[in-house]
Copies of this chain bind each other. A is one copy, B any other.
Amino acid sequence: MSQCKNHQHCIDTAISNALLACQEANVRLTPLREQLLKLIWKSHQPLGAYDLIEMLAEVSERCIAPPTVYRTLNFLLNVGLIHRINSLNAFIGCTDPSTRHPSYFLICTECQTATECHNDSLRQQVSHIGTQTGFRIQQQWLEVLGLCQNCQKL
């Protein structure tokens, strides 16, 4: 939770964003989907699918098998409510699901905090590369590993 003062606010915002996004997309935020999204938002650290399975088991007594979790994760990915961190096989909440955008993250190797990075110059630069090379961009991920400001001090 390194970078937020009131993490409950992050969670609340995430859920209300999710409700809006689902309404917009005309899909349903079922209890399971909402519960998983809340678990993902428990921290600002990417979580693996099997971490989430364990968390679900603890929280709700229900033992949910991998296919169900992966289905739900894919739903959240498709609606744009979460991102996948490919270098970690892990998932993290999107801080702005209102508009589709590439997945750019700064990930601290010390505290594991992943910070989404909405940077238009960067986006334009990538887009420019596409134009230059005649490549029609469909999807993109940038994952930057390193030390966040906090962890450099330690």
Size range of the chain A interface in the assembly: 20 to 34
> Is residue A148 contacting chain B, with contact meaning CB distance below 8 A?
yes
15 residue pairs bridging A and B, Cβ less than 8 Å apart? A86-B86, A86-B141, A115-B135, A122-B125, A130-B144, A133-B149, A135-B146, A135-B148, A135-B149, A136-B147, A137-B145, A138-B146, A139-B146, A141-B141, A141-B142
> Is residue A64 contacting chain B, with contact meaning CB distance below 8 A?
no
- Copies per complex of this chain: 2
Residues of B within 8 Å of A146, CB to CB, are: 130, 135-139
Residues of B within 8 Å of A87, CB to CB, are: 86, 141
Residues of chain A from 118 to 154 with CB closer than 8 A to chain B in the complex: 119, 121-122, 125-126, 129-130, 133-149, 152
Residues of B within 8 Å of A49, CB to CB, are: none
Residues of B within 8 Å of A106, CB to CB, are: 129-130, 133, 135
Of all chain B residues, the one with the shortest Cβ separation from A149 is: B134
Known: A86-B86, A86-B87, A87-B86. A135 touches B144 (CB 8 A): yes
Contact A126 B149 (CB under 8 A): no
